[in-house]
Amino acid sequence: MTATTATTATTATRVVLGSSAAVLLVSVVMIVLAQRAASEGRALVVGALGGTTLAVVAALVAGVALIVLIVGLAWWLTRRSGFWPQILVRSAASLLAVVVGLGLCVVAWLGALGFVRYVDVGTVDGRTVMVAEHQSLAGLGAVLGYRDGWLFTPVPGATGREIDPDDGVVDPQAEFGGYRLELTAGRVTVRFGADGRNVLTAPRR
């Protein structure tokens, strides 16, 4: 290996390890913020993801970054070591990476049991109205609330109905989407679904 090639490889390794560390840090911060918002009865929302779903995605990203760090650091730290130190350290790192990978599979499976998507449906009195679409083994549901920055706050007085799978609907797309925001002097109403039969309403604040 020439000096130029070695320098390039070293630089690339440092970039990969540094990027992985940054991604891991951001993901952990995201999980902490999501849990803190949940403890306050709100949800941290980034794009269409938020709440538990956002925490699961962040955990998966953090896990992948951790695997890269574990394996990358093991190879990096033992690049000039003898044969046996390399074998022992790299084997241990690989085993740990497999354990983390199995943990990610469990997290992904648990995350697949339920999913929440957040949708902006309009603006009322300068505030963004948002609907949280819930899909889980228990059925489908929707929650009406307001988004302030990156935080979703459910409206305490909101009313609506759970979308029961027994309704005969097998496609969530038939129940969600097509949001229509209606305003009156005292209430905010959101109609949605293929036929507009699903309704969420809350006091106008």
SS3 48: coil
Q: What's the predicted TM-score (pTM) here?
A: 0.82
pLDDT of residue 5: 60
Tell me the domain boundaries of the chain.
Answer: 3-112, 114-203
Mean pLDDT per 10-residue section of the chain, whose length is 205 residues = 61 87 96 94 92 93 96 88 89 96 94 88 89 82 89 81 53 73 85 79 80
The C-alpha atoms of residue 95 and residue 78 are separated, in whole angstroms, by 16
pLDDT of residue 81: 82
Structure tokens at 44: 């941290």
The C-alpha atoms of residue 63 and residue 131 are separated, in whole angstroms, by 30
Residue pair 45/132 in contact (Cβ under 8 Å)? The answer is no
User: What is the per-residue pLDDT across 159-202, written as a single tens digit (0 to 9) for each?
Assistant: 665 555 555 544 666 677 788 888 887 888 888 877 777 888 88
